[in-house]
């Protein structure tokens, strides 16, 4: 394992049992991710991107393989140690409405991680909630509003603010901008890039659209049938894909030319 890597993933495998037999989620996935870096994860539907994201979040236990975070064996952490460290990796999903309690206020949604992870004392929570909203380009007054009252783009900013609440080193964004209009999407991508430049965050940016993934990624990994079939600097993969899956993704993305 290299000392420099924030995240070192080795030989990760996960299968699911279904009625038809065993289904491959991910098979023998290995990669490093460095501090402040964005790895784009692209591939067709069913290629294992979300499974990989869920294993990294420890929402799903893999069958085999290792994950080291900052040199620490992330999959070996006990329940107690995991609880204390869970905020180190955060996730943003495609549909923020599904990820929030629809009746909660935005301030309430942001108070949850602050309380659960004991980030700040209770009396400091309102101030911290205002800061979090401002960090993602929203007015602090939005804390009083309900999540279903604001636009899709604002909701996704709140989801990013919630992810930031625990001071993560890595945010996994699983199709996080896929449901947004093009102009809103561009602004969210810009926000993510600004946060990364300012705070040195690392991202795993999952998407099926190479034209979007390449805007924010330094490197990309192309997945197919649970495996990484190609990985490299984003400009190389876009200009000269080596794998059949990479070639098909580039060919299916006319905006790249």
Tokens of 137: 């380009």
The nearest distance, CB 64 to ligand ADP, in angstroms, is 16
The nearest distance, CB 213 to ligand ADP, in angstroms, is 13
The nearest distance, CB 18 to ligand ADP, in angstroms, is 5
The nearest distance, CB 151 to Mg ion, in angstroms, is 24
In this complex, which beta carbon is closest to Mg ion, that of residue 49 or of residue 155?
A: 49
Tokens of 86: 């869970």
Contacts of 221 (CB under 8 A, 6+ apart): 31, 39, 40, 41, 42, 228, 230, 231
Locate tokens 């080291």: which residue? 68
* Alpha-carbon Rg for the chain in angstroms: 18
3 binds ligand ADP (CB under 6 A): no
The nearest distance, CB 53 to ligand ADP, in angstroms, is 8
In this complex, which beta carbon is closest to ligand ADP, that of residue 23 or of residue 104?
A: 23
16 binds ligand ADP (CB under 6 A): yes
**β-strands 219-224, 227-233 pairing:** antiparallel
In this complex, which beta carbon is closest to ligand ADP, that of residue 223 or of residue 238?
A: 223
Contacts of residues 241-247 at CB distance under 8 Å and 24 or more positions apart, as own/partner, are 245/43, 245/44, 245/47, 246/222
Count of residues near ligand ADP by CB under 6 A: 12
Q: Are 49 and 57 in contact (CB under 8 A)?
A: no
- Residue 62: name its binding partner from Mg ion, ligand ADP, none (Cβ under 5 to 8 Å by kind): none
Report the length, in residues, of the chain.
257
In this complex, which beta carbon is closest to ligand ADP, that of residue 21 or of residue 254?
A: 21
- Ranges within 20-49 binding ligand ADP (CB under 6 A): 23, 25, 43, 45-49
64: region left, alpha or beta (phi > 0 left; psi from -120 to 50 alpha):
beta
- Residue 231: name its binding partner from Mg ion, ligand ADP, none (Cβ under 5 to 8 Å by kind): none
CA atoms within 13 A on the CB side of 22: 8
In this complex, which beta carbon is closest to ligand ADP, that of residue 22 or of residue 148?
A: 22
Q: Quick one: how many helices (H) and strands (E) in the chain?
A: 10, 10
- Residue 94: name its binding partner from ligand ADP, Mg ion, none (Cβ under 5 to 8 Å by kind): none
Locate tokens 């079939």: which residue? 229
In this complex, which beta carbon is closest to ligand ADP, that of residue 43 or of residue 246?
A: 43
- Of the residues 18, 78, 123, 183, which one makes contact with ligand ADP according to CB under 6 A: 18
| Angstrom distance (rounded) from CA 143 to CA 108 | 8
* Sites of contact with ligand ADP (CB under 6 A): 16, 18, 23, 25, 43, 45-51
């Amino acid at each position: 394992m290299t000392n420099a890597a924030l995240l070192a993933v080795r030989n990760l495998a996960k299968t699911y049992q279904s009625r038809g037999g065993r289904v491959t989620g991910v098979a023998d996935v290995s990669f490093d991710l460095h501090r402040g870096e964005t790895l784009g994860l692209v591939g067709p539907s069913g290629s294992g991107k979300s499974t990989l994201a869920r294993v990294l979040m420890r929402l799903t236990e893999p069958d085999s393989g290792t994950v080291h975070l900052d040199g620490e064996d992330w999959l070996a952490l006990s329940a107690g140690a995991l609880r204390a460290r869970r905020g180190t990796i955060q996730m943003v999903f495609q549909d923020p409405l599904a990820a929030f309690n629809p009746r909660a206020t935005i301030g309430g949604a942001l108070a949850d991680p602050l309380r659960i992870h004991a980030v700040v004392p209770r009396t400091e929570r309102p101030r911290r909630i205002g800061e979090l909203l401002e960090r993602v380009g929203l007015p602090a007054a939005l804390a009083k509003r309900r999540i279903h009252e604001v636009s899709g783009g604002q909701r996704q900013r709140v989801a990013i603010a919630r992810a930031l609440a625990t001071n993560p080193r890595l945010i996994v964004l699983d199709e996080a901008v896929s449901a947004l209009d093009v102009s809103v999407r561009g602004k969210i991508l810009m926000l993510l890039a600004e946060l990364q430049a300012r705070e040195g965050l690392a991202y795993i940016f999952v998407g099926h659209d190479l034209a979007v993934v390449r805007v924010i990624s330094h490197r990309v990994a192309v997945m197919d049938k649970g495996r990484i079939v190609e990985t490299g600097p984003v400009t190389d993969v876009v200009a000269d894909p080596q794998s059949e899956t990479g070639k098909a993704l580039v060919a299916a993305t006319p905006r790249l030319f």
